Amino acid sequence: MAQNRTDSPSRQERRKARTRAALIKAAQSVVAAGRLNAPILEITQAADVGMGSFYNHFDSREQLFRAAVDDALERHGNRFDEWSACLDDPAHAFAQSFRLTGRIHRREPALSQVLFTFGLAMAAVDNGLARRASRDIDRAVLAGRFVVPDTDLAMVVVAGAVLCLGRLLHDQPERDHATSTDHVAQTVLRMLGMPGEEASEICQRPLPSLDDPP
């Protein structure tokens, strides 16, 4: 009997986690489609959960959307972290993540739409891609690789470059996204204090494939 009492809460927590994950996945599809006014009932139906289950996890649709965006960007941020774990140079880690993020606009349009929808708000929070970019900039400054007197202002430049690049790539589908992304990455690195020749070289290094796991 004692074992059953121990196991039951665990099963309940697993069910709650599955429900929350289903709601977040459904919300991510809605956000990617740009349907921010979708009724909660539609989201719960897509998640195959009851309306009551929604309010067991979230107070509002907006709170769910924020959780959905956080989850999407955190998962991609974790993937970038794993790819850069073997890099000793924080400037290389930053450049690699920037170049991969630029390629996401074409390779993963759903996530790209999330960036367009919530990008400015997400640039100032302590999670997802923004936290990692800020962290890598600070590490590169400490290593003498970047010259950045104000990381927050640097993030304004980085976030603006990512979002404007994405919009350009969507508006000009004939444009080579990899070449364009690497060109913007070089410009950002120079603005962060890296010499031009070195910025050019670091942006020509091989990248992990977005098709492969870390």
Residue type, 14: R
Residue linked to tokens 């740009």: 34
Under 8 Å between Cβ of 80 and 40: no
**Considering the entire predicted model, what is its pTM?**
0.78
How many other CB atoms sit within 10 Å of the CB of residue 2?
6
Residue type, 10: S
Which domains, ranges and CATH numbers included, belong to the chain? 1-58 (1.10.10), 68-214 (1.10.357.10)
Under 8 Å between Cβ of 189 and 95: yes
pLDDT tens string 187-213: 999 999 999 999 999 999 999 887 665
pLDDT tens string 105-157: 888 777 777 777 766 665 655 656 788 899 999 999 999 999 999 999 999 89
pLDDT tens string 174-186: 999 999 999 999 9
Residue 26 token pair: 């459904």
